[in-house]
Structure 1
Amino acid sequence: MAKLRVSRVGEQIKKEIVDIVRTEVKDPRVGFVTITEVEASGDLQHATVYVSVLGDEEQRKGTMEALHKASGFIRAELGRRVRLRRTPELHFKLDTSLDYSTRIGKVLRDIKEGDKQDEPQA
């Protein structure tokens, strides 16, 4: 039962962080950001926020620095929006799973195109 509550609270935190980053964070380094997942600890003291950033490595680095710098503001705003005894401490991590899946898709397309070129013409 406790795991269900933690996952529901994690989803609510995710919704609120998406809204806060989209509307309240004014740092120009925050580019096109997608919050992919929020994992909250069992006691809801810590939350790991997985972030996917569209752009090159420099843009990703700048966005992550801006999110780390704004984490206090985001946490305070989250505390106002979500009623919990204690607002979880936020830890932002870059989510590279989308890059990985894109790379796998490209490799599979290349293999498929290579197989078509190897087929004899009738």
Structure 2
Amino acid sequence: METNRQKKIAGVLQRDIADIVQQALREAGVQGILVSVTKVSVTTDLSQAKVYLSVFPSKEGENVLKEIQAVKSQIKHQVAQRTKHQLRRTPELLFFIDDSLEYIASIERAVKGLDNPLENPEQLERRQKK
């Protein structure tokens, strides 16, 4: 159960990190990749923040995550500059890819019958012979 303070800090961090990441992508001249911060959850002691990123197109997710990991300290520094009047210490930022949208899309395809493994047996995993 998150406290109100955790929720408020998570909201501030989500907004600031989204701004910082978007600005970094613009400055790097990256075209055709959309990155959004879908969720931030903060630990009870406010020492860590898990940041979930949604990347479109999804095949670029791993590359974007690697790039963000490489500049994580700079992102934390910029967050600290923006939140210096609200937070005493900036939490350690942990970045993850949020694949929930892909998961929802795969469920929708399955429900609509678009990914029918009976019609397309290559979608099924191969059984191991014992």
User: TM-score scaled by structure 1?
Assistant: 0.80
**Per the alignment, in what secondary structure is the counterpart of residue 19 of structure 1?**
helix
Moved more, 91-100 or 23-32: 23-32
Distance 2:6 2:66 in 1: 27
RMSD: 1.9
1:3-28 Cα shifts (integer Å, max 9, x gaps) = 11111110110000011111145445
Q: CA, structure 1 residues 56+85, in 2 after alignment: closer, same or farther (shift >3 Å)?
A: closer
Corresponding position: 1:77 with 2:78: yes
Q: Whose RCO is larger (CA < 8 A, sep 6+)?
A: 1
Query: What is the number of equivalent residue pairs in this alignment?
Result: 109
1:33–1:54 Cα contact (<8 Å) kept = yes
> Which structure: greater helix fraction?
1
1:107 to 91, 100, 110: 110
| Residue 53 of structure 1: aligned partner | 55
Distance 2:66 2:28 in 1: 10
| Residue 32 of structure 1: aligned partner | 34
1:46-67 Cα shifts (integer Å, max 9, x gaps) = 100001111253x211101011
Distance 2:93 2:67 in 1: 13
2:92 to 89, 107, 117: 89
Moved more, 30-39 or 74-83: 30-39
Q: Percent identity?
A: 28
Corresponding position: 1:18 with 2:21: no
Offset at residue 29 of structure 1 (A): 6.5
User: TM-score scaled by structure 2?
Assistant: 0.76
Distance 1:65 1:7 in 2: 27
Q: Which runs of 4+ in 1 moved over 2 A?
A: 24-31
Distance 1:73 1:102 in 2: 34
Distance 2:83 2:64 in 1: 25
